[in-house]
Amino acid sequence: MKIFKLAAILSVFTLFACQPKYYIPNTQQVTMFSDEGDANLSLNLDGNQFELQAGYAFTDQFAAQANFSRFAPRDTENGDGGSGWLLEGGPGFYKPFGDDLVFETYAIIGLGAVENHFPSRADSINFPQIEATALRFSLQPSIAKMYDRFSIGLSSRISSLNYANIKGDLIFDGVDQVAFLTENKSNFLIEPAVTARFGTEKVRFQAQYGFSFNASNTEFLQNRQYLTIGVNVNMNLGEISF
C-alpha cells in the first residue's frame, strides 16, 4: 500500500544525527476550507515527531488554526540526543475558486523550546548540554486542488525564528554551542511543502514533504527536509446532526 511505502521512505529522513539540532520543521497545516463552519483535524508523525493540528472557518472568508508539535527522538546508545516542542496558532483568510480550488494564507505565531544533551562528552565536572526557548513568526500562503478522493496542496512558510534564554555548557567539535546559538539567534526561513491526501470525502490519509532553507545562515544546525504522514479529518460542523 502507498502509505507503507511512504513510511519506508520516511525512515531515511528521521534518523537522528549525532550532532546538536536547534530547529526541526513541523508539518504545515493546509486547511483546504471552502465554506463557513468547515473544521480541519490532523494527527501527523514521523519517526521522531508527533503533531496535533486543528483549524476552523468562522466565516466564509476568515479562519484560524492551532498546532502542537513534540519532537522526542530516541537517544543514541551512548545517551546523546535532544528534544523540543512547539505550540503555535493564528488567524487566516481563505478564498475558494469554484468547487475544487482554494487559496489561503495564515499569519502564525509559535512559542517553543529545544534542548540537546551529550553525556558521552561528560567529565567529572560538566554534563554537556544546551537549551533555549524559541519564538517563530510565520506567513503561510497555500493553494490546493480538491478531487472526490484526492487533494493536493502547495504551500510555503516564510518565518522569522528567534532564540532566547540560551544556556548550557556544550562544546561540540571545538565550538562553544552557546556562543554559536547566541550569534545565530535570529534566522529567516523559507519552507516550501507539498501536501497530498487520499481517502473518503471526510477522512483521508495525509503525507507532507517539505524543505527548510535558512536564508540567514546556511550552516545552521537544523533539519533541512522532512516527510510526515498522518490522518486528516475535514468536515463542516453545520452538517452534523445529533
Cell matching residue 165: 534564554
Beta strands in 9-80, from DSSP E residues, in sequence order: 38-45, 49-57, 62-71
Query: How far apart are alpha carbons 68 and 49 in whole angstroms?
Result: 11
The torsion angle over the Cα atoms of residues 202, 149, 54 and 91, rounded to 10 degrees, is -120
Nearest to 180 by CA among 121, 123, 222: 222
pLDDT tens-place string over residues 188-207: 999 999 999 999 989 999 99
Q: pTM score > 0.85 for this model?
A: yes
Q: What is the mean pLDDT of residues 68-73?
A: 93
Query: Coil, helix or strand for 199?
Result: strand
- Report angle CA 111, 117, 119 to the nearest 5 degrees: 170
At 239, give phi and psi (nearest 5°).
-90, -5
| pLDDT band at residue 173 under the 50/70/90 scheme | confident
The CB density around residue 195, as the number of other CB atoms within 10 Å, is 24
Structural domain that includes position 133? 2-239
Cell matching residue 230: 498522518
Residues of the chain above pLDDT 70, percent: 90
pLDDT tens-place string over residues 99-123: 899 999 999 999 999 999 998 777 6
Instruction: Identify the pLDDT of residue 239.
Output: 65
β-sheet bridge partners, residue 193: 155, 210
Whether residue 127 has pLDDT greater than 90: no
Query: Coil, helix or strand for 131?
Result: strand
Whether residue 4 has pLDDT greater than 50: no
pLDDT tens-place string over residues 215-238: 999 999 999 999 999 999 999 987
What is the CATH number for 219? 2.40.128
Total structural domains within the chain: 1
